[in-house]
Structure 1
Amino acid sequence: MSIQERKLEQDCSFGSGCGAINLVISPRDKDLGGFSVRRALPTSRLQMVGPWIFFDHMGPAEFEPGHGINVRPHPHINLATVTYLFEGEILHRDSLGSLQPIRPGDVNLMVAGKGIVHSERESPEVTASRHRLHGLQLWLALPEACEEIDPAFYHYPSAEIPKVEVNGVSVRVIMGQAYGVHSPVKTHAETLYIEARLKAGQTLVLPEANERALYLVEGSLQARDTLLSHRTMASLRPEPGIEVEAREDCLLALIGGESLGERYVDWNFVSSRKERIDRARADWENGNFPLVPGDEKEFISLPD
């Protein structure tokens, strides 16, 4: 999604963790006109988790016929976007000529590199009837050596994402490796992203990473002596053997990986160099980014 403000940090409340947890982040709902989004990253207290610099939970939302997601073309640099849906469908177009519907369980990876433009809309077939949308959109900062690579687009259908059962818990390894399986999704640094669905009373030992955080999409769970409710993010301590127990049926996402150092963030741009962001803003304002084939007429203006 495109961000309408230059500053990405949204209003959140914070809690002190104990035992396994450094920080608990409770993002507040932001109404985007017909649906709500909660932004867990970046915040004033936590900018990144490993290479992950942006984490939005969108929906669940229900749209009447004729309405839906309609994000006009907008640019990115020096990052990669990861779109993952639980319900609904989004139609992705980009300046490479990609045209790809994203459906539940698919992984949509767009590498901006030195610059890309994309739009996120819904097809007429989807908007013709009442429909729902629910999912996560995340951004990965790229390592400095990869920030200016050529842009690229990768789509992985749901069937290609490995599943494993761990102590009776259903787990999908979306990026990186965990529990003895390795995701085919391309990475540029050490990256971890898993989804787990726990029934009430089930437990799961979380995979290790240099930096980790879990986001509870649905349900509630116990992490040692901390009870986490749905729609909260918990930054985890870097120690092995952290186990969570579901107090009710849960859906969680765990992200992590290696730290890439500080990044500058301005609107839809992320970079290790502030001057690179300044140049990207000027390029967008002056029309120097490529157009999106099939979606050339509209665009989102540069925010002040």
Structure 2
Amino acid sequence: MSNIKLIIEERAADIGKFLVGRLLPFRQKRMIGPFIFIDHMGPVKLNEREQMDIRPHPHIGLSTLTFLFEGSIMHRDTLGTEVEIKPGAVNWMTAGKGIVHSERTPDYLRHEDKVLHGLQIWVALPKHLEQMDPEFFHFEADQLPAWTVEGIEFKLVAGEAFGHRSPVPVYSRLYMLEIKSKEKRVLSIGEHLFGESGLYILEGGIESEGNHFGPKQILVAKDSALCEFTIQANSTVYIFGGEAFPEERFIDWNFVSSSKELIEEAKVKWIAQKFDKIKGDEEEFVPYPVFKK
């Protein structure tokens, strides 16, 4: 019997100047463990007249995880953070009771051709921490645990797995794991995982019980303890998941919470422009979207 509970295909989503491949939420699966939102961004080729300019916008009740494969993004937020994220590094921003950030092409790249490619991920906070003070952390690629077993390269982006722990300060039991292989290999890793588990194929493919799966798909496991598959040569996959929360989570635009009332308060506050401003990036903002009925 197959251990694959659900196959989620990447769907195009318009986030302004970009089309991204939306993976979560999905109508049949709103969350995988504490992971509530995953966008595959790019690869997008931009010329000297095209920039990434995601204007200041708010979040509550979640942590964002930005992980790039190519390109560069300048992150600014209302904590005073100004940091450039490059491929392999991790930006981890915890919104808690509220934060505003912007994501733009760095100044030194705005007059040349460039490529942008990566994952934008939201991780919901436990109920008792949804109103915590906001935080921001940045970790370079060489700060993340990495190891090789029989030619297979592992990197722990966030959380805990295989006896390793990422320095990213997560607030629930979770894992996000990068696996790369230049050769075809059988992987049996279920004993190292827990909770709900999803597998995202970035490049290459995997085989499971006679079925082949290629890029731009998330496979959701029925039981993470039974996670076994064959990874094809020259493949890169990401496995993520963890323990699910007992309460439902609601999403309204960029706001996540177990409380609809808290989301409504944040919405009213943003429309009234009562969130803090980003120093040096105060002139623009993303308005709350008006959804057509």
TM-score under structure 1 normalisation? 0.91
* Aligned-partner Cα distance in 2 for 1:72–1:221: 38
Residue aligned with 1:290, SS: coil
1:202 aligns to 2:185 (yes or no)? yes
2:110 partner amino acid: T
Match of 1:157 among 136, 140, 143: 140
Deviation readout 1:227-277 (Å, 9 max, x if unpaired)? 211000000122424222123421111110111131010000000000111
Q: Who is 2:281 aligned against?
A: 295
Residues 183-198 of structure 1 mapped to structure 2, 5 A cutoff: 183-198=166-181
1:179 CA displacement: 2.1
| Uncovered stretches (5+) of structure 2, i.e. residues with no partner | none
1:287 CA displacement: 1.3
Q: Quickly say closer, same or farther: Cα 1:280–1:297, change in 2 above 3 A.
A: same
Greater displacement, 223-232 / 287-296:
223-232
Residues 97-246 of structure 1 mapped to structure 2, 5 A cutoff: 97-206=80-189, 207-246=192-231
Residue aligned with 1:171, SS: strand
Deviation readout 1:63-83 (Å, 9 max, x if unpaired)? 111312110000000111000
Residue aligned with 1:176, SS: strand
Q: Who is 2:255 aligned against?
A: 269
**1:209–1:258 CA contact under 8 A, matched in 2:** yes
TM-score under structure 2 normalisation? 0.94
Provide runs of 4+ in structure 1 moved above 3 Å: 30-36
Residue aligned with 1:259, SS: coil
Deviation readout 1:154-191 (Å, 9 max, x if unpaired)? 11111101101123210101112222221111010101
1:166 partner amino acid: V
Deviation readout 1:70-100 (Å, 9 max, x if unpaired)? 1000000011100000110000000000000
**Percent identity between the two aligned chains:** 39
* Aligned-partner Cα distance in 1 for 2:237–2:19: 19
- Please report the RMSD computed on the Cα atoms of aligned residues, expressed in angstroms: 1.4
1:259 aligns to 2:244 (yes or no)? yes
1:34 CA displacement: 6.0
Residue aligned with 1:56, SS: strand
**1:35–1:60 CA contact under 8 A, matched in 2:** no
Match of 2:42 among 53, 59, 72: 59
| Uncovered stretches (5+) of structure 1, i.e. residues with no partner | 1-17
Q: Who is 1:285 aligned against?
A: 271
1:209 CA displacement: 1.5
